[in-house]
Amino acid sequence: MTARGADSPRARFRQALAERVVLADGGVGTQLYQRVGGPRGNLDGLNLSQPRVVEEVHLAYIAAGADLIETNTFGANPFRLRAYGLEEEVWRVNLQGAKLARSAREIAGRPVLVAGAVGPVGCPLEALGPSGRIQVRDAFLRQMEALLAGGVDLFMVETMLDVEELRLAVEAARSLAALPVVAQVTFSGGLEPVATGQAQALVRLVEELGEAAPDVVGINCGAGPGPVVEALGWLEPLRARGIPLSALPNAGLPARVDGRLLYSASPAYLASLLPAMLQQGVRLVGGCCGTTPEHIRALRAQLDALQPSGALPGGRAEPVEAHPPPVRVVPPPETEAPPEGETASPILAALARGDLISVELDPPRGVSVTKLLQNAQILREAGVTCFNVADSPMARVRMASLAAARLVQEATALPAIIHFTTRDRNLMGIQADLLGAWALGIRHILAVTGDPPTVGNYPHASAVYDVDSIGLVRILQTLNRGHDLVGNPIGVAPAFTIAVALSPNAPDLDRELRRFREKLEAGAHFVMTQPLYEVAPLLRILDRLGGCPVPIVLGVMPLQSAKHAEYLHNEVPGISIPKPVREALARAGDRGAEVGIELAAQVLEEARPLIQGCYVVPSFGRVEQVAGLIRALRQQAGWALPADPPPS
């Protein structure tokens, strides 16, 4: 599981480009300019002042068919933000920019890539004096650290006129994380000698950087689609070396009409030049200034039209569906509880063997489930036993866990544990939803009280809390006995498997243990812990309890970087990360994600004699990374699945 191995983010990105042409979005700034009615201050600052507007722009490009969206952070470096009094907000502007793009991805429910946009600092290196290079590199580091903490999938360094400034940005990115880097210069029309010199300098830079070179090199902005196609020829030496190229041109030259900039290149014209771009070796295509969702929609249609004819050069390209067909839900046959004594639950069977591995999936924020089901399939192939499906975590609205879990079970043939909160349902609603869950084939419930609405995006919503998680366990056991809370018979009794939560790092451990004992007395079948980064808290809990009478599933959440570790340790209740772990992440540099996986595996190995399974929470939804951890666990003694019986 090395950061530069076959399963690294860089390797996966390069493989994706080899298999298909990736379609990026268009002019984010152009769309924001139109929506806010002109340049009211710094566009990057809209991440803080008008986040919904930014999110709407991302959603528009995803709906148009983009496979990759860029964060609204092109100018979010200290140099540019200083002019707007936002120099001290570098962290917040970039962090929020990444979160808004990821939020749009969740709402759309499509597996688009989120690229952290990084533009030039806006000040020539020579003008900054002897310390200029240090200042600029530090500026890029500050910006990229926040983008990394926000969960971007790659860095998009773009619109660079100075190749040496581009070098500083690429070096900063490589020092932080093992994420893919796209590096793009801009060439102005009518300056062919200058542009040719830039192209030659870019080729030399790639050669000098060697293994640290960008994963994709190309051109964005510039005079328009035609000049960009011409300039791509100057990058032929890079193409000859097998380096994928990118092209994200402007929509022609702008004209100022009634105080507004209007661009001349139509969506049809841009799309008509797509074959020429692909012939030049372009594997990442999109738009820059002046391009709109209509331009991206036209490129999407052109890509889709070229695909059946095999006209896409340079490899097999399979564009991601912009509007995938809906998933057909087939109601299961009416089910009855199994005979007494029969082991009905594959989850309980795995706990009995001690090899359960579950991964948490967050339902989408919208109605599309494409990304959810693709992630579930990736994890199924890696070897998970089951899935945990969250219930509007952090009090932020998402698709109902019951519906998402049913779709995941149908798509993977693996069971799901739904997180069921008492926050949003009264006693009638709780029982009604549980009866419906059983009828839909949901057999496993994690009983949780739920975060209060005040911490989420509906702070004025009313919480119910007729019962808490302890009361919910009692309700589940009542239903399992064949009647409702007031004693009415319900016919065939369900047989729910009941899980409960435990926080070994709770600030009030006496209260946490008292409540846990009540959950056990109410009838809990097994326990799932909050993520741990050392075994000591679990040992402390077991010592206080005198052992645990039910199976323990240990929670882990792989860390991504030192910044990620500090954030979780200082700002997320119930999570405590030991100082040695945080120091290890700080030393890891660009290997942060790799070290995070290694540390998670180490905790599981140390806890192995004490637990019957593990519960993995992906950071930033990065299921590929978690899949690597699962595959590694399944190769170890104790986690390996039992061999299939020989054929009779």
pLDDT tens, position by position, 45-61: 999 999 999 999 999 99
pLDDT value for 485? 92
Report yes or no: 618 and 393 within 8 Å, Cβ to Cβ. Answer: no
pLDDT at 608 over 70: yes
Residue 120 vs residues 33, 164, 186, 245: alpha-carbon distances, Å: 20, 11, 11, 20
Report yes or no: 222 and 228 within 8 Å, Cβ to Cβ. Answer: yes
The residues, ordered by sequence, that sit 6+ positions from 647 with a Cβ below 8 Å of its Cβ are: none
3-state secondary structure of 637: coil
CA gap 404, 390 in Å, rounded = 9
pLDDT band at 82 (very low <50, low <70, confident <90, very high): very high
Strands in 259-336 per DSSP E = 260-263, 282-285
Report yes or no: 51 and 71 within 8 Å, Cβ to Cβ. Answer: no
Sort strands 356-361 and 613-616 into parallel, antiparallel or unpaired: parallel
Give tens-digit pLDDT for 23-50: 999 999 999 988 887 555 689 999 999 9
pLDDT value for 459? 80
346: nearest Cα among 263, 416, 249? 416
pLDDT value for 312? 42
Sort strands 68-70 and 113-118 into parallel, antiparallel or unpaired: parallel
List of domains in the chain: 11-254+264-309 (3.20.20.330), 346-560+592-634 (3.20.20.220)
Give tens-digit pLDDT for 113-168: 999 999 999 988 888 888 999 999 999 999 999 999 999 999 999 999 899 999 99
Q: Rounded mean pLDDT of the chain?
A: 87
Structure-token pair, residue 105: 């991805």
pLDDT value for 207? 92
pLDDT at 592 over 70: yes
Q: How many residues does the chain have?
A: 648
Give tens-digit pLDDT for 567-578: 888 877 778 899
CA gap 221, 119 in Å, rounded = 11
pLDDT band at 451 (very low <50, low <70, confident <90, very high): confident
Residue 324 vs residues 65, 192, 409: alpha-carbon distances, Å: 11, 43, 19
Contacts of 577-582 with C-beta under 8 Å, sequence gap 24+, read 577/533, 578/533, 578/534, 581/533, 581/534
Mean pLDDT over 311-336 rounds to 36
pLDDT band at 437 (very low <50, low <70, confident <90, very high): very high
Give tens-digit pLDDT for 224-259: 888 888 889 889 999 989 999 999 999 877 655 555
pLDDT value for 56? 94
125: nearest Cα among 77, 72, 164? 164
pLDDT at 603 over 60: yes
pLDDT at 631 over 60: yes
pLDDT value for 621? 84
pLDDT value for 394? 82
Structure-token pair, residue 357: 């591995």
470: nearest Cα among 412, 512, 424? 512
140: nearest Cα among 79, 84, 198, 181? 79
CA gap 503, 513 in Å, rounded = 9
CA gap 152, 101 in Å, rounded = 9
Scored b (16 or more CB within 10 A) or e, 131-153 reads ebeebbbebbbbbbbbbbbbbbb
CA gap 47, 253 in Å, rounded = 28
pLDDT value for 341? 43
Q: Say how many Å lie between the first and final Cα of the chain, rounded.
A: 38
Alpha-carbon Rg of the chain, whole angstroms?
Answer: 26
pLDDT band at 197 (very low <50, low <70, confident <90, very high): confident
Cα 150 to the center of its chain, rounded Å: 9
One DSSP character per residue, 361-386 reads EPPPSSS--HHHHHHHHHHHHHT-SE
CA gap 286, 249 in Å, rounded = 7
What is the biggest distance separating any 2 CA atoms in the chain, rounded to whole angstroms? 87
Report yes or no: 613 and 386 within 8 Å, Cβ to Cβ. Answer: no
